[in-house]
Amino acid sequence: MAYNLGILGATGAVGQEIIRLLQEREFPIAELRLLASVRSAGQEQSFGGKTWTIQEATPESFEGLDVCIFSAGSDQSKLFADEAIKRGCVVVDNSSAFRQDSNVPLVIPEINPDVVDDHKGILANPNCSTAISLMGLYPLHKTFGLKSFIASTYQAVSGSGAGGIVELEQQARAWAEGGEIKKEVYPHQIAFNLLPHVDAFLDDGHTKEEMKMLNEGRKIMGIDDLRVTCTCVRVPVFRAHSISISAEFEKPVTVEAAREAVRNFQGSELVDNPENAEYPMPLNYSEVVPCGVGRIRKDSVFENGLALWVTGDQLWKGAALNAIQIAELLHKKGKL
């Protein structure tokens, strides 16, 4: 069966990756409907040997669609989700708008596929750093029982969209040429710098991004009392996030069993040969489907603890790929 599929936010960085991956993964599409702002309406996009015209998103745009992947931000998701659902369109939402809604499944298909069975028209994609982190943590949770973890993220500028990528390119070029370094996307220079600031700050000193790791981790893995401390850092890397994690478990741990758990987990691959300088790096995991897990070792603080390093493509597993995998899972289960 082929579907009428829409993409809201088709011209953005994630939207373009969705189009690319849909074609590469040969998702069964009868009609592709590309939706964006009025500024982009009329532009053309090639897909599947055809040319498709980008349309302005309106409530009527979702008429006749079976499924639409939303990737235009929370405001647009809140504006159009109900309009799509009441027209019989299933929504896979990439924004944070519905992630903590108890009626909306928050899905990583390799971890909690069964939650899609009773969806009510909308399914949420997790935050990028959360998704990538859990691809390393979940196989360990299944083996040892996760209690808590401390994470520091190293988040690429791709997480800020196309503008973040352009700003890093322009600042690096200006620095090399002795020119003026301009700041528009970030409050400080990102080239050759680190910003311990991703998303808005909350009253308690955490950022929204940091709290997503706790709240979304609990919901996806079904661990209501999971404890998390997270510091999110924007780094001058174009693409692919990395996360340093120290995790505490219920059961005694061994490095050998941890490596075996990761090795057997679909969606992640073990790259853990430090003696040969082999470990996951952003350059090696840009435009790559699985997430890389390495540097697994006994943690020196937690009694039953492991330290590890996870890397994955923010635009893929952190956004576009996971959304498509949700659509593929719905197709497989007959839930579209």
How far apart are alpha carbons 121 and 105 in whole angstroms?
10
User: Are 54 and 34 in contact, with CB atoms under 8 Å apart?
Assistant: yes
Active site residue 241: yes
Give me the torsion for CA of 97, 98, 101, 102, rounded to 10°. Answer: -170
Backbone angles phi, psi at 252, to 5 degrees: -60, 145
User: Are 55 and 61 in contact, with CB atoms under 8 Å apart?
Assistant: yes
114 Cβ contact list (under 8 Å, min separation 6): none
How far apart are alpha carbons 324 and 15 in whole angstroms?
11
Helix (H, G, I), strand (E, B) or coil at 73: coil
Active site residue 68: no
User: Are 235 and 168 in contact, with CB atoms under 8 Å apart?
Assistant: no
DSSP state of 126: P
Output the CA angle 162-164-167, nearest 5 degrees: 110
CB atoms within 10 A of CB 37: 14
Q: 68, 89, 119, 128: which one is catalytic?
A: 128
Q: 68, 230, 241, 291: which one is catalytic?
A: 241
Helix (H, G, I), strand (E, B) or coil at 135: helix
Catalytic residues, by residue number, are 128, 241
